[in-house]
Chains A and B, each alone.
Chain A
Amino acid sequence: MSDKATYRPEGIHDAFTEGRGDDAPAAPGDGKQKPSGPNLPTLGWRGMLRWTWRQLTSMRVALMLLMLLAVAAVPGSVLPQRGQDPAKVLEYLGDHPTLGEWLDRFGFFEVYSSVWFSAIYILLFVSLVGCIVPRTLSHARALRNRPPKTPVRFGRFPATAEASTTASPDAVVDAVATHLRGPWRRLPTFRVDVGAEEPRLGRPATRTVAAERGYLRETGNLVFHLALLGLLVSVALGQLLHYRGQAIVTEGRGFANAVVDYDTFDKGAWFRPASLSPFSMTLDSFDSEFASDTVAFAQARDFTAHVTVTEPDGGQHSDQIKVNSPLTVDGAKIYLQGNGFAPEITVKDGAGEMAFSGRVPFLPEDTMYTSRGVVKVPDVSKGQEQVGLIGYFLPTAVVEEDGSARSVFPQPQNPLMVLEVYRGDLGLDDGVPQNVYRLDTANLTPSVDDDGQPIKLLVKPGETVELPDGLGSVTLGEDVPRYVALDLRYDPSLGWVLTFALLALTGLAVSLFTPRRRVWVRSWETTDDDGRAVTHVELAGLARGDDAGLQREVDKALAAVPGVADGTSDDDTTDDTTDDDTVAADHQRTATED
């Protein structure tokens, strides 16, 4: 459109085109004077769309979006994220009520699923598609192109070489062409055209070779970008189809792969319960190893869960799960994500009735496995209160002079449980789901001693201890079973994600390390100073971008010339500017003289 103002075909008088443009003179009596000054073309909404599309698919905008993406990713590492650590987010919101609320409003606690982060990468991928599709089409055409014709003068090329030989020009051209094509007929290194020229510019008739290599460079580039697109799609599909369940299993017990058997269960939007394979699993035993040397005392060295898997068809087999080797069952992977102790605790109420009995998982809080757990005892007998116990389990307990106890090693060498006792309404009858690992003591009455200090009961395995205030008794089982936290994941897209990632890596390496070079050879018969007939050979090379190996390529091509008497390769034909554009422009100029 805008070209109209400046474009005047030769031989056509200005009057011929005048008045035929979009800006026809306003009808008389229109009342409105057109503003003076340059006639800017009006874009209209279609033009506007086209302009936006061009902008979006331009490299400059892609660059901006890349920079934005890098910056936008940073807050997710600074602020706590709901997906990674929801408890930290709550803590942050509690500490910074105003700021936290505003940050939350703008999605700063779910950066990677926030509108603005998604907008950036979606725009980036739109830009990528807009850039890559036309390039793929033009590359598909370019793949059938022949190498550009041999330029008339070789003087200004970044790499040149010349030599004299006793072989005939035909033999020279054949030898160089064979060398440039390389050993594989199917996959030639260079695409080679052999030609001949009429006598001109003071030269007799010559034989020429025009060769080009490096078409794979653009292919690799396109593969890389398309693979990124495939990666995005696979990841998105995985998000839609995946499921993930977490379960705590104690030694000797098991779980079945069903939604109800998991403590927590996440699923994608397209998840169907049918994709849960109906297997079950039992934890036979759990082994752990810790360093006992002074340098890394009590550091974890190994965790192994020994399990028995019952397949859907009823077949059973033993297996093990370690931290770095998940167990794969029917396409789902089971990971060992945590472990701890689940002591067997029995509580009898003041009336002597069994009020609670079961294994209670205690969550480890430090490297010595000082673990915290909660027992909520319902009121089973009439007139009894509900009792809450907050306990610490110490695998290797040391009791100090003042009665405080701590754990000094993660293995159960001297197990001890320390209990605080609360009574009151625990809310067990309200039917509201509660966190089994927390006891809200705000409305409960603690059992205290004569000094008003909370009473701490020390219970060893196999012991029964009376609860204070006539609340009954508590018994700790003789054996302390271990528990493991298992994480089961199913994501059918994993194979695709890996495939596209590796494809992207390959494409990237090919596009960055494949040299794109052109080599030309011209050879003709002449006479040397002594009047003998010799063949003169000239070579020139051109590369796209900076290419340290170009001169070597030309020299190697020269070395393929048979019967070379003396060769002089000169690599000082260019000055410091190795800029692609300059060289290309030179080439263009040389070519147009043709």
Chain B
Amino acid sequence: MQIAELSVLLVWGAATALTIALVAFAIDLGRRTEARADAHAEARTPVAVGAGSTTAGAPAGGSGAAEGAAPARRRAAGIAMSTTWLGTAMLLVAIVLRGLAAGRTPWANMYEFTLVGSFMALAVFLGMNVRKDYKFLGAFVTGLAVLFLVLGLNVFYIAATGVQPALQNYWLVIHVGVAISATGIFTVAFVSSVLQLVRDSRDSGSPYLQRPGFRWLDRVPTPTSLEALSFRLNAVGFVLWTFTIIGGAIWAEHAWGRYWGWDPKEVWSFVIWVVYAAYLHARTTRGWDGRRAAWFVIVGYLCVLFNFTGVNLIFNGKHSYSGLNTDSTGGA
């Protein structure tokens, strides 16, 4: 029991570290905005050249300007990144301890999905930052992770224990593991698409977004770069989701005697798959690319969230593994 309690403590610790990271990321984003405004005023021409040097995959254009203008000002970014690493590491340890306490793979109920899903989103974010500067996503990714973790601790928490016979299978590791990885990637892609839409609205003169409070939006990459980023992530997420569905079908064939039975979870996994498929088609359809395609990402991600929360809690299907309601018969 002590291991399980330590795990919970570590999750709280991770949530705290990530909250600090969230604040630091926000400060960094705000300061970089000022730095850019200053730099623009002081040395217009060289900065403009630097800022324009964004290639297809490097939305960090112009970060050199901020660094050159005031290196000290990126201290917030450094704090943000180290606390994110710390929080993610604590979360990882918490997940491992949870698995040890329960004596099985630590992703078999909603509380555990929340932990691992948040961890995956953070890991994807950190992995992206190893090679390039994607820190502008940080405030949003850590923000969502903190939200999910606190929700998980307060609403979805159940004590660590074993699982029912239907879940005792190696497919639990594969099917659910891949599903959570896909969710983590979809989360980061969702952030990118939301930023794309907001930035695009500001660029095209939305009066609300012209307020000084939204000046930080100039510091995020162009809508085109954000779209490209979102697509690359969603492409990976979509392939993983396809695998999730296929793996789930194979497992369902083993456990329930049919590979597809329109169980609520299956329905919503199908809906998510179709929405992201529509997104991939919209991107290549004239008149549906850009903003409209981004809306598909947002709808798709809302479906992912609903599939995780609503379907588990509202509908009574075969996937009701939240562990929060125990009214189902123990029958196989």
A positions within 8 Å CB-CB of B:
59-60, 62-63, 66-67, 69-70, 73-74, 76-78, 81, 83-84, 111-112, 158-159, 235, 244, 290-291, 293, 295-296, 298-303, 322-326, 333, 335-340, 364-367, 369, 410, 485, 487, 489, 494, 497-498, 501-502, 504-505, 508-509, 512-513, 543, 546-551, 571-572, 574-579
Contact = CB atoms under 8 A, between A and B. Distances in A.
A301 B257 contact: no
B115 to A, nearest CB: 18
Given A67-B278, A70-B275, A504-B242, A546 B329 contact: no
Contact of A494 (B259, B268, B278): B259
B308 to A, nearest CB: 14
A498 B249 CA distance: 9
A550 B258 contact: no
Nearest to A370: B329
9 contacts: A70-B275, A84-B261, A291-B161, A300-B165, A300-B330, A303-B332, A489-B258, A512-B238, A548-B228
Contacts of A497: 259
A367 B328 CA distance: 7
B274 A73 contact: yes
Interface stretch (B189-197, B212-220, B281-289): B281-289
Given A367-B330, A546-B56, A546-B57, A489 B165 contact: no
Contacts of A546: 56-57, 228, 231-232
| Interface bracket on B | 35 or more
A581 to B, nearest CB: 10
Contact of B54 (A325, A485, A576): A576
Contact of A66 (B52, B56, B278): B278
B267 A74 contact: yes
Contact of A301 (B53, B162, B263): B162
B306 to A, nearest CB: 10
Nearest to B167: A324
Contact of A502 (B53, B246, B259): B246
Given A299-B164, A301-B165, A508-B242, A364 B262 contact: no
Contacts of A303: 165, 332
B250 interface: yes
Contacts, number: 185
A364 B317 CA distance: 18
Task: Tell me whether chain A's interface is mostly helix, strand or loop, or mixed.
Answer: mixed
B87 interface: no
Looking at A66, A366, A504, the one whose CB has the most chain B CB atoms below 10 A away is: A66
A572 B169 contact: no
A86 to B, nearest CB: 14
Interface string B231-261: 1100110110011001001100111111111
Nearest to A365: B329
A494 B159 CA distance: 39
A572 B52 contact: yes
B257 A571 contact: no
A158 B228 CA distance: 15
Contacts of A302: 165, 168
B330 A290 contact: yes
A61 B256 CA distance: 36
Contacts of B281: 59, 62-63, 66
Contact of A63 (B231, B250, B264, B282): B282
Given A77-B311, A339-B331, 7 more contacts: A291-B162, A295-B160, A324-B166, A505-B243, A513-B235, A571-B55, A576-B54
